[in-house]
Structure formats: C-alpha cells, structure tokens
Amino acid sequence: MTGSGIHGASGGALPNSVRIVEVGPRDGLQNEQGVVPLAAKLSLIDGLVAAGLRTVEAGSFVSPRWVPQMADTDRIVAHFRPSDAVEMPVLVPNLRGLELAKAAGARTVAVFAAATESFSRANLNASRSDSLARLSEVAAAAQGDGMRVRGYVSCAVHCPYEGWVEPGGAAELAASLTDMGCYEVSMCDTTGAASPGRALAMAKAAIAAVPIDRIAVHFHDTFGQALVNTLACLELGISVVDSSVSGLGGCPYSPGAAGNLATEDLVYMLDGLGIATCIDLDALVKAGAQISDVLGRKPASRTALALTSRRSARRIVKDHLSN
C-alpha cells in the first residue's frame, strides 16, 4: 500500500484510506444485560449506514441459550436485505448458524476462533482443533453458496484465562483462517490488555503470516489503549479497523473486558491525519447518542461526549477538519 504521505507518531507511513468495520450492533450489543428492542437495533443500523459506514456487523447466529441478546438477528438481516453497497457480516459458529444466516438472507458470515484452548472452550464449547475443523466446514459450505467469509482470531494478544499469548501462535491461526478462504482476518485484543508494544508484536507476526491487505485489527478499550494500539498498527500499513459506535461492547466470555474502540474517536483521529473514511462524524455521533439513550448511559466515546456536552467542541472539530 502506498502511504498517505503523512507519518505517524513513530514516523511510519500511514495508509491513504481506512475501511472501518462497525461491530456495534453485534459485539456492542451482545453483552447487554437487558434485551435491546429490535426497533432500536434497526434504527442504530440505519443511523450507522446514514453516517457512511459500509461494513456493519449486524448480529450473530449463535445459540440463543449462550447469547440471548442476538436472538433476533434473523429479523435484522431480513429487514436490511444486505446489498452490494453495505456489507453486513453476521457471526456464525457452526453449520447450524450458517443455515440460519443463509435462510435469513445474509451474504457475508464471520467465523471466529481463539488462539487459546481455554477461550475456545469457554466461547465455543470446543477445543481449538475441533473448532477449527468445524469452521473449515462452515467456510467451505458458505463459499460453496457464494457467500463471503470473514475471520476473527480472538485472544490474539491476551486471554482472560491463560494470560499473554505468543504472537506467532495467533498469526498461525490467522493463516489457517485465510487458507480456509477468509477474505480478511481480524486480529482481536479480546480483553483489551494490549498496549502498543504488545499490539505491534501481534500485528508484525500477523503480517509475516498473512498478506497485509487481509488483516484487520480489533481492540477492546479496557485500559484506554485501543486508539493508540490502532495507530501503531496503521503505521505498519494495516488499513482495516474494527470499532464500535459509542464504544459499546464486550464479550460475555471475556470477563472484565470493556467495549471496543469507539468509532467516533477513530474517525476523529483519522480525520486529523487526513486519512479518508467517508464517515460523517456528526451523523455518527447522533447514531451513538440514540443507542446510548436506549441503553440509559452516556457514550464511552470521548469525541461523542465532547460534541454532545461542550458547545465549544464543535468549533474545535471545525478547526480540526480544516487543517
């Protein structure tokens, strides 16, 4: 990838554009204690698309006994009828999930595997090798039906049960997922434990194992490191980033983890770096404010908080965009 000509904090060339994969409706809402009404989910996705997001993960076809919050994903997919203009991946753990996704009209599925044995068992009720064999069947069947398949490597940096993860092991798993035909593999800091040194080690190992244009990064923000970790990875040339509006999220099987990198904060940073995203920040903040109202709390995004609670922040954004 040719750089934007702009250099990051450590002097690395940054990409010209970044594709944001908005995971709020899935990773963001799957961990909510209460049930989020279907209408609120539909209006969230409407708002995200109106803000310019072109990849929005709509939900998951997992066991409703494991994750009841996602039980209405069939209705979401049917409502939006995913198109070429907006890709709406849905998470599937097995062939049953794939069948349900297909029946609802999904065109892209996301499979997920864990770099550690303990997380695989906690999240998928299967060993790493069994889950890989299962995902390989899912990926083959999905591609046979003309669907696109995205991959996730959970615990690419740290595991809530086993601690730090060896970067080479996570990279090897990413290579297995691309070998199955995943068009992109998202390397996930599931617990949000990483700071840039660990994030860089993970990303460098992934780049050595998988073509860089097939790597995405996915940071949870437990320790406030998600944005700086993302910047470090952009400086390596990675140009796909997962994030969640208002910083919603968490995984039910990753105790203590906070939500994802907030999309509003990511967009503010990318705007400032002159990296194209085609996202309307005001519209994004509005979508985040609406779902935060439904959930009864303030957005976790600092950008959203500044824009909604400080009048002077609007002037700052104007200056920011005019540089």
Nearer to Mg ion, 27 or 271 (CB): 27
Task: Choose the contact partner of 82 out of Mg ion, ligand HMG, none; CB within 5 to 8 A by kind.
Answer: none
Residue from 155, 182, 233, 251 carrying the catalytic annotation: 251
Site membership for Mg ion, residue 27 (CB under 5 A): yes
List, in sequence order, every residue forming a beta bridge with 15; answer none if it has no partner.
3
Task: Choose the contact partner of 304 out of ligand HMG, Mg ion, none; CB within 5 to 8 A by kind.
Answer: none
Q: How far is the CB of 319 from ligand HMG (least distance, A)?
A: 35
Amino acid identity of 55?
A: T
Q: How far is the CB of 320 from Mg ion (least distance, A)?
A: 28
Nearer to Mg ion, 21 or 306 (CB): 21
Q: Which residues of 107-124 are buried (b: 16+ CB within 10 A; e: fewer)?
A: bbbbbbbbbbeebbbbbb
Residue 251 annotated in active site: yes
Task: Choose the contact partner of 62 out of Mg ion, ligand HMG, none; CB within 5 to 8 A by kind.
Answer: ligand HMG
Nearer to ligand HMG, 173 or 306 (CB): 173
Interface residues with ligand HMG (CB under 6 A) are 27, 30, 60-64, 66-67, 91, 93-94, 96-97, 100, 112, 123-125, 152, 154, 188, 190, 218, 251, 253
Nearer to ligand HMG, 80 or 253 (CB): 253
Q: How far is the CB of 101 from ligand HMG (least distance, A)?
A: 9
Stretch that binds Mg ion, among 22-30, 155-163, 207-215, 292-300 (CB under 5 A): 22-30
Q: Which residues are catalytic?
A: 251
Q: Residues interacting with Mg ion, by CB under 5 A?
A: 27
